[in-house]
Copies of this chain bind each other. A is one copy, B any other.
């Protein structure tokens, strides 16, 4: 039997019901912005980043967490003595700021939330220092200050050997014209930016797979890649802030961008308005994902609905802006390519990947 994401214990239906209740209640508090000189833009609840509109700018706020990736680092550390907490810290900053830039805001400040089950977690100086250095490195890559944080001991809530890593960011869109609004049109070009591996999503399933492998995280992934499973999983996430900043600087209008995380490529159709996202050039599937599909086993359909499959970020631009977008990505150090086209097809909403024989209907994604 092949594995699905739900078999790893994450039930999105239960979570999504809570998220919807939160969004409904949160919406009622929007009038409280007025006394601060802000207002809530229409139809932005449920986007990856919360925006507040003033006369001259939008203020942006994101709270995000790493998920369970650090359990992989813990297991690899226990087995090999190799410490990946610097990478884990970069991952945490990445997951926060990559959400923030989806609205066109650049992060100004990033704060850490690191909750342990026992304060003894911090007595391993090597691991503790890697966590600290990685957070600072993530902030540098994001061009944001590390603005404080919180490090509670939560005995009885967090497992004794574990740490919950999360945090928040403040950003700004200024001038307001740089906001990314979802102004997507029939014929827009889809640009993909490469990921470094699984980055921060699908890790519960990755851990389940490790538990079934005789060599666990020490298993070589093969397919021309010399790394072990653990090393490949723990490659630090790419931070996409400099791509968005470079496009803004070059005057390129990003019609929409998607941070490809939970729900895999289904996230490409995050926008409310129905479009068909036709991916004619999905790129070569990285070795890690081939390994995951075989080891699971995981069907191709489930893999693209769960993992980023080599794509961490997608941008939709006018065909006129395609070359400049690719140039801006390359100049700021990213691997990027023209992956496909946004098409209008009445009320149809779908992601289609003809060369892989895959198609995801809009009803398979409910994140708003």
Interface contact A164-B170, CB-CB below 8 Å: no
- Whether A153 contacts B9 in the complex (CB less than 8 A), given A145-B29, A159-B158, comes out as yes
User: Is A314 close to B, CB under 8 A?
Assistant: no
Is A167's beta carbon under 8 Å from chain B? yes
The answer on a CB contact under 8 Å between A147 and B111 is no
Tell me, yes or no, whether A33 is within 8 Å of chain B by CB: yes
Please, how many angstroms separate the alpha-carbon atoms of A155 and B158 in the complex?
10
Is A22's CB under 8 angstroms from B65's CB? Answer: no
A151 vs chain B, min Cβ distance (A): 6
Nearest-Cβ distance from residue A253 to partner chain B, whole angstroms = 21
In the bound complex, how far is the Cα of B167 from the Cα of A152, in angstroms?
Answer: 13
Considering the complex, give the chain B residue whose CB is closest to the CB of A167: B63
A122-153 to B contact mask, C-beta < 8 Å, 1/0: 11000011001101100110011111111111
Asked if residues A149 and B14 are in contact (CB atoms below 8 Å), the reply is no
Residues of B within 8 A of A38 (CB): 108, 145
Partner of A119, one of B15, B67, B115: B15
A119 in contact with B14 (CB, 8 Å): yes
Chain B residues with Cβ below 8 Å from A166 are 113, 115, 150, 152, 166
Chain A 230-273 interface 0/1 with B at a Cβ cutoff of 8 Å (1 = within): 00000000000000000000000000000000000000000000
Main secondary structure of the interface of A (DSSP, over half): mixed
Query: How many copies of this chain does one complex carry?
Result: 2
| A280 located at the interface, meaning its Cβ lies under 8 Å from any Cβ of chain B in the complex | no
Q: How far is the CA of A235 from the CA of B71 in the complex (A)?
A: 36
Cα of A168 to Cα of B110 in the assembled complex, Å: 11
- Are B29 and A136 in contact, with the CB atoms below 8 A? yes
Proximity bits, A42-55, B CB within 8 Å = 1, else 0? 00010001101000
A112 to B25, CA, bound (A): 12
A133: chain B residues at CB < 8 Å are: 25
Contacts of A331 in B (CB 8 A): none
Q: Are B52 and A145 in contact (CB under 8 A)?
A: yes
Given known contacts A135-B22, A147-B61, A15 and B159 CB-to-CB distance under 8 angstroms: no
In this assembly, does A157 line the interface, its C-beta being within 8 Å of a C-beta of chain B? yes
Taking the complex as formed, is A355 at the interface, i.e. its CB lies under 8 A from any CB of chain B?
no
CA distance A29 to B111 in the complex (A): 12
A9 to B157, CA, bound (A): 13
Count of A interface residues, CB-CB < 8 Å: 85
Q: Which residues A22-38 have CB closer than 8 A to chain B?
A: 22, 25-26, 28-30, 32-33, 35-36, 38
Complex Cα–Cα for A18 and B146 (A): 15
CB within 8 A of A64: which of B123, B150, B153, B204? B150
- Complex partner residue of A61 from B18, B68, B170, CB under 8 angstroms: B170
27 inter-chain pairs at a CB distance below 8 angstroms, sorted by A residue, are A9-B119, A9-B155, A10-B153, A17-B122, A18-B122, A19-B151, A21-B132, A26-B135, A26-B147, A29-B136, A36-B108, A59-B108, A61-B148, A62-B111, A63-B111, A63-B150, A63-B167, A63-B168, A67-B152, A70-B157, A113-B168, A155-B204, A156-B159, A157-B159, A158-B162, A167-B168, A168-B168
Closest 7 pairs (CB-CB, A-B): A168-B168, A63-B111, A26-B146, A50-B148, A50-B147, A25-B136, A11-B119
